A and B are shown apart, each in its own frame.
Chain A
Amino acid sequence: GAGVSQSPSNKVTEKGKDVELRCDPISGHTALYWYRQSLGQGLEFLIYFQGNSAPDKSGLPSDRFSAERTGGSVSTLTIQRTQQEDSAVYLCASSLAPSGYYYGYTFGSGTRLTVV
C-alpha cells in the first residue's frame, strides 16, 4: 500500500486478556519498528526488525510483550495478560534504508490500546 497500515485503530480490552496488534509496512521497506506513546509523552522504542537479521528486542518492557515479522513484511505485536499500564498508542514505522537513514521513518496511524 501507499502507507504504513495498522490495525485495529482502537482496541479496548479487559485486564488480563491477550491482544494482537498488526502492522503492514510500505512494500519494499526492509526495516520495521514498534514504538509506544503514552498520552502527551514521547516515543518509547519497543522493537526493531531489519531484513532477515535477528530483531533488536532491547526495548520490550517485559516478557509479556513479543513481536514477530513474517516473510519480511507484516508484523504482529502481542501483549499477553494486559495491564492497565499497557494503555497507550502503539505506533509502527517502516523505512526504506536500514535504520531509517536518508529517508526517515514512515509511521502508521497507530493503535490506541485501552486496558480496562
Chain B
Amino acid sequence: GQQVMQIPQYQHVQEGEDFTTYCNSSTTLSNIQWYKQRPGGHPVFLIQLVKSGEVKKQKRLTFQFGEAKKNSSLHITATQTTDVGTYFCAGHRDSNYQLIWGAGTKLIIKP
C-alpha cells in the first residue's frame, strides 16, 4: 500500500542550530500536511501545502512540497526550546481518502 516515509527518526541539535525533517511518498500525493506533537501532548495541525513546488513560511519554519508532489520537507531555522517535539507529515492520496501518516521526527534540543 501507499506509504509515507519520514526521516530522520530522531535529531539532536544544539539550541540555535537548524533542523530539517523529510518526507517521501511512494506515489503522488494531492497535498501534504504537517503536525507538531509536544512531549505529552497531541498532534496539532501546522499547515497544508497543495501545489507542486509550493513553499510556505511560518516565522522560523519553512515548508516545501516537491515538484513531483511526492516529497516534502520542514526546516526550522535557529531552533529554540519551544520547538521540541515530534513533527509528523501526512498526505492525502486524493481528497476523499484519509491521511497517510509518516512515522514522525523527534526533535531533541541538547542541553
Q: Which of B30, B45, B48, B88 contacts A43 (CB 8 A)?
A: B88
Over the window 96-110 of chain B, the binary record of Cβ atoms lying under 8 Å from chain A Cβ atoms (1 yes, 0 no) is: 111101111010000
Residues of B14-37 contacting chain A, CB below 8 A: 30-31, 33, 35
Of A40, A42, A98, most B-chain CB atoms within 10 Å: A42
A99 and B102 in contact (CB under 8 A), knowing A107-B43, A108-B42?
no
Number of residue pairs A-B, CB distance < 8 angstroms: 55
Interface size class of B (residues with CB under 8 A): 20 to 34
Report yes or no: A48 in contact with B98, Cβ–Cβ below 8 A: yes
Chain B residues with CB below 8 A from A101, complex form: 30-31, 92, 95
- Among residues of B, the one whose C-beta sits closest to the C-beta of A92 is B42
What is the interface of chain B mostly: helix, strand, loop, or mixed? Answer: loop
- Tell me the B residues contacting A by CB distance below 8 Å: 30-31, 33, 35, 41-45, 48, 88, 92, 95-99, 101-104, 106
28 contacts between A and B (CB under 8 A): A40-B106, A42-B88, A42-B101, A42-B103, A42-B104, A43-B104, A45-B101, A48-B98, A91-B43, A93-B43, A98-B95, A98-B96, A99-B95, A99-B97, A99-B98, A99-B99, A100-B99, A101-B31, A101-B95, A102-B48, A104-B33, A104-B35, A105-B99, A106-B45, A107-B42, A107-B44, A109-B41, A110-B42
- Tell me the A residues contacting B by CB distance below 8 Å: 33, 40-43, 45, 48, 56, 91, 93, 97-110
